[in-house]
Amino acid sequence: MGAGSEEAVVATELRWSLVIAAVTAVIFGAIFWAAVAMERVPPSNGAVIDPKALHVSGEFAEANLGTQVDAAGAVVSRIVTAQFQFTPSCIVVPQGHPVTLRFSSPDVIHGILVVGTNVNTMVVPGYISQVRTVFNRTGDLLMPCHEFCGLGHSQMLATVRVVHAADFKPGPDGKVACAQR
Amino acid sequence: MSDLEQSDRIAAGEAPVPEGVLREVPRGALALAALTVGLLVVAWLAVYAFVFLPRGAVS
């Protein structure tokens, strides 16, 4: 059988197919392992909300925005993303503690990410976007809008302030806000 | 006849491909494919291990 014969070509292509199958298996295996063993999956949340009454009633009413610690100790931050600002524009979260971030939009589609973390989601009017994560390092992390939402899009920024758990002190109402600087 | 003209004739199907070329070409193609796919896999795994995993869990 010569190197250029049809049998040799078929054998080579078969071997190469096995290599590609192995590469694909390794990559899918790594993704599957991260999803199952480490709970690294795209955020998914089916909750709906009326975008016309977003800021005046219900979960995203002004009094409920920002970081709150409930009676069970769960840390939840609620943020309204609107053209062209986050409300509030700064949230405080504790280091090394599970945090739930909840977003909603009254106007157009926005998107958020927190720099240096895997937090990344779209914010679609009529829905509540939710991301659960743990922030491992303290400091001020930038949270920009990453979905073009209009002329002021590039100015739409917020800060996620990650503080030591010992410095994370909720008030009597369970709320924690960024200190004025 | 120059090598260039000969290669044009081979490409046009007017001349047979030399046996030596048929022996060497699959090896070179495999080496090139292995190198490019290998670099791609190494780059993917590097981003996975050194960027994606350290950035923490989300759900």
Among partner residues A20, A30, A43, which is closest to B58 by beta-carbon distance? A43
Q: How many domains does chain B have?
A: 1
Among partner residues B41, B52, B55, which is closest to A116 by beta-carbon distance? B55
Tokens, residue B59: 């759900």
Distance from CA of B56 to the nearest CA of A (A): 6
Contacts of B20 in chain A (CB under 8 A): none
User: What pLDDT is recorded for position A2?
Assistant: 57
ipTM over the 0.85 cut-off: no
B26–A119 CB contact, under 8 Å: no
Taking every pair of Cα atoms in chain B, the longest distance, rounded to a whole number of angstroms, is 68
The number of C-beta contacts closer than 8 angstroms across A and B is 67
Tell me the pLDDT tens digit for each residue of A125-167. Answer: 999 999 999 999 999 999 999 999 999 999 999 999 999 999 9
Residue B47 belongs to domain spanning = 3-55
Within 13 Å of residue A68, how many CA atoms lie on the same side as its CB?
A: 15
Among partner residues B19, B22, B55, which is closest to A118 by beta-carbon distance? B55
DSSP string, A117-154: SS-EEEE-TTB-EEEEEE--S-EEEEEEB-S--STTGG
- B31 and chain A in contact, CB less than 8 A: no
A2–B57 CB contact, under 8 Å: no
Tell me the pLDDT tens digit for each residue of A26-72. Answer: 999 999 999 888 878 888 777 899 888 888 878 999 889 999 998 88
What's chain B's average pLDDT?
84
